[in-house]
Copies of this chain bind each other. A is one copy, B any other.
């Protein structure tokens, strides 16, 4: 009954690390799907021959990565994929100066250019409607930065979803946290009314192209959007 594999952290043996491995293995072997319940803490504690403390810390670790979900009174359940953890990881990277905002924008441009290309091809009519509505909502809240930002984020998320690739959606979501913190800087650096309305119009051009099912034009408009954004951030002296 040895527990040799560690797979998790350093190399050494750690009860919690082993527990994480065992629980992960259990999920795979039982082919648990989102919503399915895991054994209780005491059950696992007995099976793995460790204290409940260890099982709880293992659960917390998995919950932090949004692999499982914890609720009081209920057993832990398998989660749907979620960008929450990735968002925090990216934010940490930026705050510790291991990543700068320009680098994030380069990745976003790369990803999102591909996203609109796919979205233009694959979007459903329903998705098209949502995308168009969000672009309009941006135009309507031109004087309310906080609201404008939320519509902007929702717009990019809607595009990612329309790409029909959950990994793109995950990555776009991962940048939301840090974007929320830097977006106002880019907005403030657009001092003229022209620059501001150009930004909104660009979003409308993207929306139109996706709705029209024109991948080329959608990609081009998205690229232009990022040119503007990067320019605005540089203007503001960001990184």
Residue interface mask A131-172, B partner, CB < 8 A = 1: 000000000000000000000000000000000011110110
Is residue A120 within 8 Å, beta carbon to beta carbon, of the partner chain? no
Q: Give the interface residue-count category, chain A.
A: 35 or more
By the criterion CB–CB under 8 Å, are B34 and A167 in contact? no
Is residue A50 within 8 Å, beta carbon to beta carbon, of the partner chain? no
Is residue A22 within 8 Å, beta carbon to beta carbon, of the partner chain? no
By the criterion CB–CB under 8 Å, are B81 and A32 in contact? no
Contacts A60-B61, A167-B99, A167-B103 given; does A81 touch B93 at CB 8 Å? yes
Given the complex, which residues of B lie within 8 Å of A238, measured CB to CB? none
By the criterion CB–CB under 8 Å, are B57 and A103 in contact? no
Question: CA of A27 to CA of B92 in the docked complex: distance in angstroms?
Answer: 9
By the criterion CB–CB under 8 Å, are A167 and B104 in contact? yes
Given the complex, which residues of B lie within 8 Å of A168, measured CB to CB? 107
Is residue A80 within 8 Å, beta carbon to beta carbon, of the partner chain? yes
Is residue A195 within 8 Å, beta carbon to beta carbon, of the partner chain? no
Interface residues of A (CB under 8 A from B): 9, 16, 24, 27-28, 31-34, 53, 56-57, 60-67, 78-81, 85-86, 88-90, 92-93, 95-99, 103-104, 106-107, 110-111, 114, 165-168, 170-171
Listed by A's residue number, 23 A-B pairs whose Cβ atoms lie within 8 Å are A32-B96, A34-B98, A60-B60, A60-B61, A61-B64, A62-B64, A65-B65, A65-B85, A66-B89, A81-B92, A81-B98, A85-B85, A86-B86, A86-B89, A93-B170, A98-B166, A99-B166, A103-B165, A103-B166, A107-B111, A110-B114, A111-B111, A171-B171
